[in-house]
Structure 1
Amino acid sequence: MTSTATDPQTRTRDIEAVTAVVADLERAQNTENVDAFVALFREDAIWTTGGGRLLVGRDAIAAFTRTVLPGAMTETVGSYEVVHVLFLRPDVAAVKVRQSVERRDGKADGEAYEGSPMYVMTKDDGRWLLAANQNTVVVG
């Protein structure tokens, strides 16, 4: 994982903070906790789903998530690894993530897949939040 850094201590804390947001996202999805998931987004956030659907605003993200997340993780479990952080400004970070979704029963067939999300996060009042996000499934 890399970043553009002017103050190494601040950058280290910011990388830890954006990594914590990704960990919170992983936990919220795996536990199917819609409220915890939605709380990670800015009010005006945009989200493009793995299927290409554009959602604008936290309310739209919440409404969509309430229809898909409950029950979505009964057969699978996801893991998320931050692989690159690029600070566009001190309060804006582009965060590339490696996502792996596997069957809970360990079988190789069926629901397993890899994703390659990109999260643009902003630091608002000292808290990193998801702002502009693309959830992409890796094909082939």
Structure 2
Amino acid sequence: METTVIDQQTQETEIEAIKQVIARLEHSQRNELPEEFVALFRADAIWTTGHGKRLTGRDEIAFFTHQVLPGAMKDSTVTYEVADVLFIRPDVAAVKARAQYLTLEGEPIGNAGTPLYVMAKEDGQWLLVACQNTEVLAQ
């Protein structure tokens, strides 16, 4: 199998663009903006929530998001940090993040999350394609 390698400068530029998508994801959740959240997904995306619910396609993701996001951040908030990026191809990346749920005062609550996002670059924009949220259980 032949792999395509991208140069260091291009890789850094793409990682920064990917981080911006994750920042928009955080912003949309923290501010309870379902349309902004849903716009980050490709039309045929699949997503498994942190509680194991499988959602297929942007319409199903939108329906779910409109049910749960409004009001979800009234007592808490969340931060996301990109931990690792693996370029599968120059236009496809596996992105591992850290999610931390916080009180409105910024104190950690509950278990952290470790989502995995497979992203694809289409028409110059990185989109979420296949996502799996996973809770990190305390050891």
Change (3 A) 1:107 1:98: closer
Partner of 1:58: 58
Q: Is the contact between residue 85 and residue 93 of structure 2 (CA under 8 Å) also seen in structure 1?
A: yes
TM-score (norm 2): 0.92
Output the amino acid matched with 1:47: W
- For residues 69 and 78 of structure 2, what CA distance do their matches in structure 1 show? 13
5+ residue gaps, structure 2: none
Partner of 1:32: 32
Change (3 A) 1:61 1:12: same
Output the amino acid matched with 2:58: R
Partner of 2:6: 6
Change (3 A) 1:89 1:139: same
Structure 1 SS opposite 2:112 = strand
Q: How high is the sequence identity, in percent, across the aligned residues? A: 54
Q: Is the contact between residue 41 and residue 129 of structure 2 (CA under 8 Å) also seen in structure 1?
A: yes
Aligned length: 135
Structure 2 SS opposite 1:71 = coil
Partner of 1:92: 92
Equivalent residue runs for 1:68-79 within 5 Å: 68-79=68-79
5+ residue gaps, structure 1: none
Q: Is the contact between residue 103 and residue 112 of structure 1 (CA under 8 Å) also seen in structure 2?
A: no
Structure 1 SS opposite 2:21 = helix
Alpha-carbon offset, residue 8 of structure 1: 1.3
Partner of 2:119: 121
Structure 1 residue runs of 4 or more that deviate by more than 2 Å after TM superposition: 105-108
- For residues 5 and 92 of structure 1, what CA distance do their matches in structure 2 show? 12
